[in-house]
Amino acid sequence: MGSTPVAGELLAIGELTPGRIALEFRAPTLIAGLRPGHALHLVRPESGGYRVRRVAPVSRVDLIRGSVEVALQPRADGGQDALAGLRVGDVIELNGPIGQPILINKGTMRLLLITDGEGFAWVRALADAATRAGISVTMLQQADTAADLPPPSLLPDVVEIVVATTDGSIGHRGTVAELLAEYVPWADQAVVAGGADIRAAATSAALRRRTTDRTSASGKPARARTAAAGDRAPWLQALLSHEIGCGIGACGGCTVATRAGQVRLCREGPAIDATGSTAKRST
């Protein structure tokens, strides 16, 4: 059980959003199996035999450079992460992929991504992959202020970016929750990644949409019911991140309760059916 560790040489250090470090590693033997939604375990030996292990979402894969970019999440306790001290040229151990890829149905042509500074790393690779596949992508981004937003250059030009800021310094003044009514009917599928507030707002919007679809069953066919045969992804997937743990489904440390039951984020997650309306993946 578990994957074979590979050595990853650090090629570059960047920043996705303020305070969110991105690390690009050369790992040509690893990248072919990586998909949006996957994470890697970063493992770095410390003095005394201690090994720092962190779960890091895959935020980009560069097949030309043979590299993978992962986002170093801030520690939950606010402390300094030893991995943040890595320098270009350092080599650490990479394990993965961790988790299951985000499911996108064959019939999906319009994809709505809902995110904030915390969740952006989890959906950046999906925006890349979806647009390459010809899917129209709209990303709703929430931040306190303009300075907290990820640079638009981190996304393909064809992604429509719609911003909501608490202070109104750019885009809609308020939250993405107030924009959902406009964009939910447009989307064939949606993915939310970020704090509890935007996950709750997106889930409520998905439940309202489902009710609307059922209500219209005797009238004009709803787009959701025209999905291609075999499509099995729920309309809304929510990405739940975890920080540390075994990464192989053994310790139970990443288990969360969902509407569909207990889920180990490192095995069945991190993408879950936010409304619990479809069967979970098997392990």
Q: Which residues bind ligand FES (CB under 6 A)?
A: 245-247, 249-254, 264, 266
- Shortest distance, CB of residue 55 to ligand FES, whole angstroms? 8
The CB-of-82 to ligand FES minimum distance in angstroms stands at 19
The residue whose two tokens read 């937003």 is 149
Task: Find, among 199, 226, 222, the residue nearest to 210 by Cα.
Answer: 222
Minimum gap (Å) between residue 104 Cβ and ligand FES: 24
**If residue 197 lies in a helix (H) or strand (E), which one and from where to where?**
helix 196-215
Residue nearest to ligand FES (CB): 245
Minimum separation from the CB atom of position 70 to ligand FES (A): 16
The residues, any chain, with a CB within 8 Å of residue 232's CB and separated by 6 or more, are: 103, 105, 278, 279
Least Å distance, CB 246 to ligand FES, is 4
Q: Is 142 exposed, middle or buried (0-12, 13-18, 19+ CB in 10 A)?
A: buried
Neighbours of 186 (CB within 10 A): 12
Q: How many whole angstroms separate alpha carbon 262 and alpha carbon 50? A: 30
**Which residue's CB is nearer to ligand FES, number 31 or number 266?**
266
Report residue 105 as tokens. 């149905």
Task: Compare residues 36 and 247 and give the one whose CB is closer to ligand FES.
Answer: 247
Q: Environment class of residue 260 by beta-carbon count within 10 Å: exposed (0-12), middle (13-18) or buried (19+)?
A: middle
Q: In the 8-state DSSP scheme, what is residue 266?
A: T
The token duo for 133 is 């596949």
Q: Which is nearer to ligand FES, 57 or 245 (CB)?
A: 245
Residue with smaller CB distance to ligand FES, 9 or 243: 243
Q: Closer to ligand FES at the Cβ: 62 or 93?
A: 93
Gap between the terminal Cα atoms of the chain: 12
Provide, rounded to whole angstroms, the least separation between the CB of residue 263 and ligand FES.
Answer: 10
